[in-house]
Amino acid sequence: MQTSKEKYFTKQLLNWNKKFNDRKMPWKGIKDPYKIWLSEVILQQTKVEQGIHYYIKFTEKYTNIISLANAKDKEVYKLWEGLGYYNRCKNLLFTARKLRDENAGKFPTNYHEILQLKGIGVYTAAAIASFAFNLPYAVIDGNVYRILARYFGIHTPIDSNEGKKEFTHLANKLLDKRKPAVYNQAIMDFGATVCKPNLPLCNNCKLKKNCIAFISNEANLLPIKNKRIVKKHRWLNYFILINNHDVWIKERTEKDIWQNLHEFYLVESEKKIKWNELNINKQLQQLNIKNYTIKNISKEFKQQLTHQSLHVQFIQILISTKPTTLKRDYWISQNKLSTVAFPKIINEFIKNKDNYLTSS
Ligand code: SF4
């Protein structure tokens, strides 16, 4: 049973949605579970503005689960390039192939079966179940935690077990069971456009009358989180080995960031290395490279991931012969580099004309 305050919240939210919500996104209102799944996976760690472009590219090239399942890994990774968190792409392919092989390329229509699929957590399962099949499951993501913590003045940390239970229970109570798709879309849009993480639009908010955070001026203090993420620092030193028009690259196969993407010869260190002729020479000796020219030592580039802070540097080396210490079939012509999927930070380096990888 909903309390009167809970009833008021649901009613006001749906009212706001009907009268004022003009947020447009290409996947909004669609019923195709494949496209909903794709949009949710893309948006898991990506902003909507960036995600739209990828969603369009994917749905144009792979119009359904079977066409995605039949695609070559290499092509799909290339299309995903720049989105990061490549595990999402790996799981997308795995699940598409499983659905092709075991379910005639169709999504299950039951929440619990959707949840069993690789790469689909409770949030995505609720989104697919409610948007595609109108099933009564509330989506619970950062937006929902934030809105509920503020509106109901909840101080339980959202990353505690107790908090997760409390917010999940409340979110499902608030869900309009007759219109789960409309309600779920409304709360997500409300979080993205009104009750935003920073600087929520409280003064114009249609829910402010009963909002505890607004009344007690606590909007910027809620929701509460226990843990602060401690980031690990990594120094990735890439040796770009160039022989005539060929460059040496390899695929990252380890269970680590950027799995299945490509990179140059990597020397990873636990702290920053000040590269100079001496330590470069030492490194190249290990590869049995004797005749070489140091073409360039780049500045340090930085990339922030959720749990890691990456420091990346590129050292371009021209070599006269290909060393036997490096696998021969990993050499690629420079004009084919654009056909290979690289992590964003490497791709940006390659694409920058000033860093043009040439042996002349
Ligand atoms: Fe969020 Fe402010 Fe509206 Fe409360 S009044 S729901 S904090 S935007």
pLDDT of residue 44: 85
194-244, pLDDT tens digit by residue? 999 999 999 999 999 999 999 999 999 999 998 777 789 999 999 999 999
C-alpha closest to that of 119 among 96, 140, 143, 103: 96
User: What pLDDT, on a 0 to 100 scale, did the predictor assign at position 360?
Assistant: 44
User: Contacts from 354-359 at CB under 8 Å and sequence distance 24+?
Assistant: 355/296, 355/298, 355/314, 355/316, 357/240, 357/242, 357/247, 357/316, 358/242, 358/334, 359/242, 359/243, 359/244, 359/245, 359/318
SS3 category, 129? helix
What's residue 183's pLDDT? 97
CA distances from 57 to 39, 41, 79, 257 (A): 11, 14, 8, 24
Phi, psi of 135 (to 5 degrees): -85, 145
Q: What are the φ and ψ backbone dihedral angles of 152, each rounded to 5 degrees? A: -95, 5
Residue 353 has a pLDDT of: 63
Tokens of 332: 């690629």
Domains of the chain with bracketed CATH: 4-215 (1.10.340.30), 232-355 (3.90.79.10)
Q: Name the residue of 6, 20, 150 to mutate for ligand 1: max ligand atoms within 8 A of Cβ.
A: 150
pLDDT of residue 253: 86
> What residue ranges of the chain have pLDDT lower than 50?
359-360
CB 140 within 8 A of CB 184: no
Ligand 1 closest atom vs CA 200: 8
pLDDT at 307: 84
- For ligand 1, mutation pick of 190, 201, 221 (most atoms within 8 Å of CB): 201
The interaxial angle of helices 180-193 and 122-133, nearest 10 deg, is 120
pTM to 2 decimal places: 0.74
User: Can you give the pLDDT at residue 1?
Assistant: 81
**Binding-site residues, ligand 1, Cβ < 6 A:** 147, 150-151, 194-195, 200-202, 205, 207-208, 211, 213-214, 219
How many A from CA of 209 to the centre of ligand 1?
9
pLDDT for the residue 164: 94
For residue 165, the number of C-alpha atoms closer than 13 Å in the C-beta half-sphere is: 3
What pLDDT shows up at residue 354?
Answer: 66
> Which residue is closest in CA terms to ligand 1's atom 7?
219
As given in the structure block, the two tokens for residue 25 are: 């996104």
Residue nearest to atom 2 of ligand 1 (CA): 202
Residues near 92 by beta carbon (within 8 Å), at least 6 away in sequence: 38, 41, 68, 76, 119
CA atoms within 13 Å, Cβ hemisphere of 103: 15
Q: What is the pLDDT of residues 165-174, one digit of tens each?
A: 999 999 999 9
